[in-house]
Chains A and B, each alone.
Chain A
Amino acid sequence: MRHFYSLTRPVAAVSAIAILALAAGCSEPAGTSMAGPPAVATAQTSSATKVKAASKLGDLSAFRNIAADVTSIVDNGDLPAAKARIKDLEVAWDSAEAGLKARAAGDWHVLDKSIDHALGALRANAPNQTDSKKAMADLLTNFDSLQGKS
């Protein structure tokens, strides 16, 4: 038993070092493809470049672009497709929480609530276009008002 206790210590120490080494290694080359800001591909649209003033939360254009995308799908009346697309926003927003929230918790909550609202509208048992349209419009307004104030 003594023998095994003395074994766990070096194993713990070595694994802690291994993690740090691996973390440093992984972050060098692969970082760009793995964890860059979401939906970079859509970031080149002309409307996005116009909204340049960064909010306290930093650059939110990647999130806003998905929201704009969802809005246009809703406008076309394809609610199931909008529901599928808004999940990208949910996943991207959720995975960036730790990075964004500390910058301006109040602003973060405004957007978080607004995104929740839009998710709720599109995921309702019988989603209707009026509610979805309204929720998406509110969400875009919130994005823009945050980008506007610096």
Chain B
Amino acid sequence: MNTLTTPSSSNWLNKVPEVTLSFWVIKIMSTTVGETGADFLAVNAGFGQDISRAVMGALLAVALFMQWRTRRYTPWTYWLTVVLVSVVGTQITDLLTDGLGVSLYVSTSAFAAVLAGIFAVWFWVERSLSIHKIFTCRRELFYWSAILCTFALGTAAGDLATEALGLGFTWGAVSFGALIAITYAAWRKGGNAVLTFWIGYILTRPFGAALGDMLTQAKTYGGLGMGAMWTSALFLIVIVMLVTVAQFGVGSSRITQTTE
């Protein structure tokens, strides 16, 4: 097992983005876009759940392959992968719940256990759970399996809150928002950066879903009645804008290097 010397200052080899405000904005919005996209394929386009699962799984495989092949952080590849992981993570939970009738209590605890397992192995192998220094194939594997698992867990936990507590999207957005604020405060007060990052990553899944529902749902149900299509279009525009800015940022930081 080779010991990894971490490059001290340069992050040009790193394949994942800095965690900034725009990171979280894109991450939250991709949740909504991913979910409406998968729903659109399954219901409106009439492909059904099986075909859209297969299509999204194949697209994710392609995106992961591109992300794996790229030598450094490439915003559009990275975020495309996140959107697709979000879709597939949601589909896994939906398949378990709707298709196989697994109780949400069981799936929530199972995903939490699997996630804990991934972190344990990750830490055992790498002696670090750093989310900033992802530059080996193995670390990347840990990183993306953990992310897939947080999306599945976030979906299950969010659905459980709806089913067990009758938490609608308005109160869902408020409560998950409050939990995120607490996590943020904990991080500011010197809490463990890696731990708070992953907690935030899980919580932003149901938060993003509730936020999306608030915009898409009809006014009769207490939403703003924008409809799924317009909400997704709006979110997609913002995502594209932010990723474009990031892409230019990366581009300008390696003027001397040739981009693909």
Contact = CB atoms under 8 A, between A and B. Distances in A.
B220 A37 contact: yes
B238 interface: yes
A1 B253 contact: yes
A23 B215 contact: yes
Band of interface residues on A: 35 or more
Please classify the interface of chain B as helix (H, G, I), strand (E, B), loop, or mixed, using the class held by over half of its residues.
helix
B21 interface: yes
B39 A5 contact: no
A18 B215 CA distance: 13
A96 B226 contact: no
Interface in A44-78: 58-59
A131 to B, nearest CB: 19
B218 A37 contact: yes
A26 B46 CA distance: 28
B177 interface: no
Interface in A6-21: 7-9, 11-13, 15-16, 18-19
Interface string B66-102: 0000000000000000000000000000000000000
A19 B249 contact: no
Band of interface residues on B: 35 or more
Contacts of A1: 249, 252-253
Given A99-B223, A102-B169, A19 B218 contact: no
Contacts of B16: none
B34 to A, nearest CB: 15
Given A16-B25, A27-B219, A11 B228 contact: no
A100 B219 CA distance: 12
Contacts of B234: 19, 22
B43 A94 contact: yes
B219 A5 contact: no
B41 interface: no
Name the residue in A7, A9, A11 with the highest tally of chain B Cβ atoms < 10 Å from its Cβ: A11
Contacts of A22: 234
Interface stretch (B125-133, B160-168, B188-196): B160-168
B166 A105 contact: yes
Contacts of B221: 58, 96, 98-100
A36 B224 CA distance: 11
Interface string B186-230: 000000000000000000000000000101111111111111101
Contacts of A41: none
A126 interface: no
B245 A11 contact: yes
A95 B253 contact: no
B239 to A, nearest CB: 9
Contact of A7 (B162, B217, B245): B245
B226 A105 contact: no
A83 to B, nearest CB: 11
B22 A12 contact: yes
List 10 tightest A-B contacts by C-beta distance, closest first: A99-B221, A4-B249, A31-B225, A102-B168, A98-B213, A35-B225, A12-B22, A27-B224, A1-B253, A8-B22
29 contacts: A1-B253, A4-B249, A7-B249, A8-B242, A8-B246, A8-B249, A9-B20, A11-B241, A12-B20, A19-B238, A26-B230, A27-B219, A27-B226, A34-B227, A35-B217, A35-B218, A35-B225, A35-B226, A36-B218, A37-B218, A58-B221, A96-B217, A96-B218, A96-B221, A99-B217, A99-B221, A100-B221, A102-B169, A105-B162
